[in-house]
Amino acid sequence: MARTSSYMLPLGTVAPQFSLPNTIDGAEVSLESVKGSKGTLVIFMCNHCPYVLHLLDKIIEISEQIRKLGINTVAISSNDVDNYPDDRPELMKKLAEERGFGFPYLYDESQTTALAYEAACTPDFYLFDADLKLVYRGKFDDARPKNDEPVTGKDLLEGAKKLASEIPQVEDQVPSLGCNIKWKKGNEPAGFFN
């Protein structure tokens, strides 16, 4: 699993639309249907990535905190399940139910949504304002598997609080780091990251 940094989509980018199945209940979920009154957090993640699993409890906790600020969360897995069967939709549902996700966990089988967002790694975080313009992308915090940094979500949480309070974001944002998205053969992006 290659350590990969997020590509850092330009701030101000309008969120690409999507409509994907929610593995938790089978319903189709669109960006419009899930967006929050103040903003929307889109997370590219998966079941098996050690970087995701290291942060997951705090991701769930913070998603609940920011929901109270008017910011909804949606998670998307775009991994190739033929080569990474731990990320199959039925196991996504199992993980979401076991861990008590308070947000949809969508399956991007075609990988077109990940490509549209230029997602590079799991986890990759995108925070959009009420007009679906990108205001924060980058790291959750400094915690990584095998380091001793506490899992706090401070960077993402600060971005969310600033968004909710209409305070300008820091423009010098630090990329997220995780496992590379597992692209299907022929879908590999041509050099937009790393």
Report pLDDT digits (tens) over 97-139. Answer: 999 999 999 999 999 999 999 999 999 999 999 999 999 999 9
Residue 153 lies in a domain: yes
Domain count, the chain: 1
Looking at the predicted structure, is the pLDDT value of residue 39 above 60?
yes
**Average of per-residue pLDDT values in the chain:** 94
What is the Cα–Cα distance from 128 to 142, expressed in whole angstroms? 22
What is the C-alpha radius of gyration for the chain, rounded to an integer number of angstroms?
Answer: 15
C-alpha pair distances (Å), 73 with each of 2, 35, 132:
26, 8, 13
Residue 191 lies in a domain: no
pLDDT for res 191: 57
pLDDT for res 124: 96
Q: Strand pairing of 124-129 and 39-44?
A: antiparallel
| Sheet of strand 39-44, all strands in order from the earlier edge strand to the far edge | 105-107, 71-77, 39-44, 124-129, 134-138
**Phi, psi (degrees; rounded to nearest 5) at 144:** -140, 155
pLDDT for res 2: 61
- CA 63, 64, 68, 72 torsion: positive or negative? positive
For the entire predicted model, the pTM comes to 0.95
**Phi, psi (degrees; rounded to nearest 5) at 43:** -120, 125
Residue 192 lies in a domain: no
Residue 194 lies in a domain: no
Residue 167 lies in a domain: yes
Calculate mean pLDDT across residues 42-63: 96
Residues of the chain above pLDDT 70, percent: 96
**Phi, psi (degrees; rounded to nearest 5) at 4:** -135, 140
pLDDT for res 193: 45
C-alpha pair distances (Å), 179 with each of 6, 92, 163:
10, 17, 28
| Residue numbers of the domain that contains 43 | 3-180
CATH of the domain at 150: 3.40.30.10
> Quick one: residue 103, left, alpha or beta (phi over 0 = left, psi -120 to 50 = alpha)?
beta
DSSP single-letter state for residue 63: H
Residue 190 lies in a domain: no
Residue 87 lies in a domain: yes
Burial zone of 167 (CB within 10 Å; 0-12 exposed, 13-18 middle, 19+ buried): exposed
Looking at the predicted structure, is the pLDDT value of residue 181 above 90?
yes
Residue 186 lies in a domain: no
